[in-house]
Amino acid sequence: MNQYKNFTVEQLADDAKFRKWMLNPDEATVRFWNNWLEDYPEEAEKIEAAKKLVRLSNFQSGNMSYEKADALWEEIETKMDTPRQKDKVVYVQQKSHNYFGKIAAAILLLIVAGYFFYNNQLPSETEKTEIKYISKNNPAGRNSTIKLTDGTVINLNAESNLKFPEKFIGNERRVFLEGEAFFEVSKDANKPFIVVTNKIETKVLGTSFNIQSYATDNKVQIALVEGSVQVNCTAFSKSEILTPSEMLEIKKNKVGEVLIDRSHFDPKEILSWKEGILFFNDASFDEIIKRLGRWYGVKFNIELNKQIDRGYTGQYNNASLGEVLDGLGFTLGFNHDIQDKNVKIFN
């Protein structure tokens, strides 16, 4: 593993395992490089430089010949008025990319030239364009559908907030979620879509998935329907790759330890809220009351003589609060009284 410690930026950028991490990551590759960075944190700056180089170049074998690389070098030297130092050029040993070191060095030199030119003559990207954010907030009892400028469609659940740019700028599409939402992300291989929820980032290129992250629940739940997502937990540098029908639940236990549970999920249980269906699968009484409060925008006053400790399974399609409570009360053994936005539960 420590062989990469002696690699230059250009050698890292041309390494097959490193490029796979950047361009087509899987669980093993993500875990390898995250562990490597934990072992060699002093190499973080070099890793970041190599990342940028891969994103900037992204050359495939055969896309640029030696002749074109030489021409690029000559053009840069002429503009920079800087003589070429051949011993500074790194030639990569792999035959499939034996031209890459020269290209990489040329790109780096061009970046430096551009840096000085733009810093002295043009305003920076942030100076030219100030990012304006829009916040959509759903109170309890209300759902909504949001379409972003890139074509992404988002179903935002009740008691949820979504913050997103008026227009996506730069090399990523980043939004911020509190609560629950279902995302149908428009594909753009050059601009990954990132959802930020409570120190957890879910990164996708184009896919469908559900995220639940209510502050009062003390957990984050990501369920993937189509495509692939990479989930990064910034709290402890952990990454997970999900495949369709997999769900990741991240939560803290009573002593503050972060727990990760990976499993398959029932789409009906996780996604039925989008269709106006309340679905319960062996739900506890406390969970039922919490969900009904969000769904209908009401507050509950619990006055039970005996605690309800059994689970409940069932579903209600676009039903009124009264109809739901009638069914629940019959099964679980309680009565209810609805007064506007206040509900009393008793037995």
CATH number for the domain that contains residue 153: 2.60.120.1440
Name the 3-class secondary structure at 162. strand
Range of the structural domain that residue 102 is part of: 2-122
Instruction: Kindly state whether residue 44 falls inside one of the protein's structural domains.
Output: yes
* 232 and 141 both lie in a single domain: yes
Residue 102: pLDDT over 60: no
Instruction: Kindly state whether residue 308 falls inside one of the protein's structural domains.
Output: yes
How far is CA 68 from its chain centroid? 38
- Name the nearest CA neighbour of 137 among 160, 164, 157, 166: 160
> Tell me: the pLDDT tens digits for 301-321?
999 988 899 999 999 998 999
Range with the poorest average pLDDT among 123-132, 222-231, 316-325: 123-132
Name the 3-class secondary structure at 218. coil
* 224 and 312 both lie in a single domain: no
pLDDT score for 56: 64
> Tell me: the pLDDT tens digits for 229-257?
999 886 666 788 899 999 999 888 778 78
Distance from C-alpha of 33 to C-alpha of 1, rounded to nearest angstrom? 10
* 60 and 180 both lie in a single domain: no
Residue 96: pLDDT over 80: no
- Name the nearest CA neighbour of 59 among 100, 11, 7: 100
Residue 137: pLDDT over 50: yes
* 142 and 264 both lie in a single domain: yes
pLDDT score for 129: 60
Name the 3-class secondary structure at 181. strand
Q: Of the residues 268, 291, 317, which one is the last residue of a structural domain?
A: 268
Q: Of the residues 76, 102, 122, which one is the last residue of a structural domain?
A: 122
Instruction: Kindly state whether residue 338 falls inside one of the protein's structural domains.
Output: yes
Query: Higher-confidence residue: 153 or 190?
Result: 153
> Tell me: the pLDDT tens digits for 192-227?
999 999 888 999 877 899 999 998 888 899 999 999
The CA–CA distances, whole Å, from 279 to 150, 258, 267, 338 equal 32, 28, 11, 22
pLDDT score for 292: 95
pLDDT score for 79: 43
> Look-up: residue for tokens 């969970």?
287
pLDDT score for 15: 87
For the chain, count helices (H), then strands (E). 10, 18
* 334 and 281 both lie in a single domain: yes
Instruction: Kindly state whether residue 127 falls inside one of the protein's structural domains.
Output: no
Name the 3-class secondary structure at 35. helix
Distance from C-alpha of 244 to C-alpha of 229, rounded to nearest angstrom? 9
Instruction: Kindly state whether residue 128 falls inside one of the protein's structural domains.
Output: no
* 309 and 242 both lie in a single domain: no
pLDDT score for 83: 43
Residue 55: pLDDT over 50: yes
- Asked if residue 148 lies in contact with residue 171, where contact means CB atoms within 8 angstroms, the answer is no
Instruction: Kindly state whether residue 216 falls inside one of the protein's structural domains.
Output: yes
- Is residue 77 within a helix (H) or strand (E), and if so which, with residue range? helix 66-80
pLDDT score for 107: 52
* 117 and 142 both lie in a single domain: no
- The length of the chain, given as a count of residues: 347
pLDDT score for 4: 83
* 92 and 219 both lie in a single domain: no
CATH number of domain containing 331: 3.55.50.30
Query: What's the rounded mean pLDDT across residues 309-338?
Result: 93
Instruction: Kindly state whether residue 16 falls inside one of the protein's structural domains.
Output: yes
- Name the nearest CA neighbour of 192 among 180, 176, 204: 204
- Is residue 119 within a helix (H) or strand (E), and if so which, with residue range? helix 100-121
Q: Of the residues 57, 92, 122, which one is the last residue of a structural domain?
A: 122
Name the 3-class secondary structure at 233. strand
pLDDT score for 57: 62
How far is CA 227 from its chain centroid? 13
* 152 and 260 both lie in a single domain: yes
Query: What's the rounded mean pLDDT across residues 24-30?
Result: 75
- Asked if residue 228 lies in contact with residue 242, where contact means CB atoms within 8 angstroms, the answer is yes
* 311 and 330 both lie in a single domain: yes
pLDDT score for 69: 43
Please tell me whether the overall predicted TM-score, pTM, comes out greater than 0.75 for this model: no
Instruction: Kindly state whether residue 74 falls inside one of the protein's structural domains.
Output: yes
Q: What percentage of the chain reaches a pLDDT higher than 90? A: 46
- Name the nearest CA neighbour of 167 among 182, 192, 184, 150: 150
User: Quick one: pLDDT band at residue 108, thresholds 50, 70, 90?
Assistant: low
Q: How many domains does the chain have?
A: 3
* 197 and 301 both lie in a single domain: no
Q: Which of 36-50, 117-131, 248-262, 322-336 has the highest mean pLDDT?
A: 322-336
- Name the nearest CA neighbour of 238 among 27, 52, 45: 27
* 21 and 79 both lie in a single domain: yes
User: Which distant-in-sequence residues (6+ apart) come within 8 Å of 142 by Cβ?
Assistant: 158, 297
User: Which distant-in-sequence residues (6+ apart) come within 8 Å of 340 by Cβ?
Assistant: none
> Look-up: residue for tokens 């053994």?
333
> Look-up: residue for tokens 């669980």?
27
